Amino acid sequence: MTAPAPLTNTYPSLAGRTVFITGGATGIGAELVSAFAAQKAKVSFVDLQKDAGKSLADTTGASFFECDLRNTGRLADIMAKVGEANGPISVLVNNAADDTRHDFREVTEAYWDDRIAVNLRHAFFAIKAAHSQMLEAGGGSIVNFGSMSWYECQGGMTGYTTSKAAIEGMTRGLARDLGADNIRINTLVPGWVMTPKQKEMWVGEEVKREIERGQSLKSELLPQDICAMALFLASDDARMCTAQSFIVDGGWI
């Protein structure tokens, strides 16, 4: 595996923009917070992980708010406060999700509803909450996070894979509604990204071999590889990109 090069692109259009990221305390989310902060954007993020969120905020200068995204009313209130403090949100990154494994034969209605709430519902209501602010800003960019897992027929987490497939449908379903307001919306589809959580919980030697077989490019897929695409999609350089799915998976699916 080759070592990754640091991110080098600078997007002047992101400087001073108000960026809101869900699930930003750890993993890909933390790299997103750092990457947008490095572009001199005004970054705010939400997460349940209080200590990690505060630490990252101290390091990056971003603003952290503790939030259970199943509480969409609190999410909307936080987004309103961010807009009042930093100016209207013009970049929304719906990153938060939880790929907890489960046996479909043991899933109850309550657990199913919880998986949809954790992995899909909040993204829609974040978009709804951001809409008026993006109108005020004269436009915006929404980056919804999908997953290659359902493309690859990965089992053991139907609530997650169903939600991630629906994210792409939601993106395309909203693109025309939002386009008239100069708001772009795209799905960023990561492959199997080597975050500390993935390495600790799921990626053993057998899975490493599976990833190497699956990817056309044999380097590890890292959070900064995903951030590179997110920055582009959020910037004015991607001004005519909407309703699309951008896959960053090393050539697997």
Q: Is residue 227 part of a domain?
A: yes
pLDDT value for 5? 64
Q: What is the pTM of this model?
A: 0.95
CB-CB contact of 83 with 18 (8 Å): yes
Q: Is residue 211 part of a domain?
A: no
Q: Is residue 106 part of a domain?
A: yes
Q: Is residue 206 part of a domain?
A: no
Instruction: Read off φ and ψ for residue 91, nearest 5 degrees.
Output: -130, 125
Q: Is residue 207 part of a domain?
A: no
Q: Is residue 37 part of a domain?
A: yes
- The overall average pLDDT reported for the chain is 95
pLDDT value for 197? 83
- Helix spans in 96-157 (H): 109-116, 122-137
**Interatomic CA distance for residues 70 and 72, integer angstroms:** 6
Q: Residue 2 pLDDT more than 70?
A: no
Closest CA to 80 of 24, 122, 18, 35: 18
| Domain that residue 146 falls in | 12-193+222-247
Q: Residue 4 pLDDT more than 80?
A: no
Report the catalytic residues. 160
For the chain, the domain total comes to: 1
Percent of the chain scored above 90 by pLDDT?
91
Burial class for 100, CB neighbours closer than 10 Å (0-12, 13-18, 19+): middle
Residue 133 sits in a domain whose CATH number is 3.40.50.720
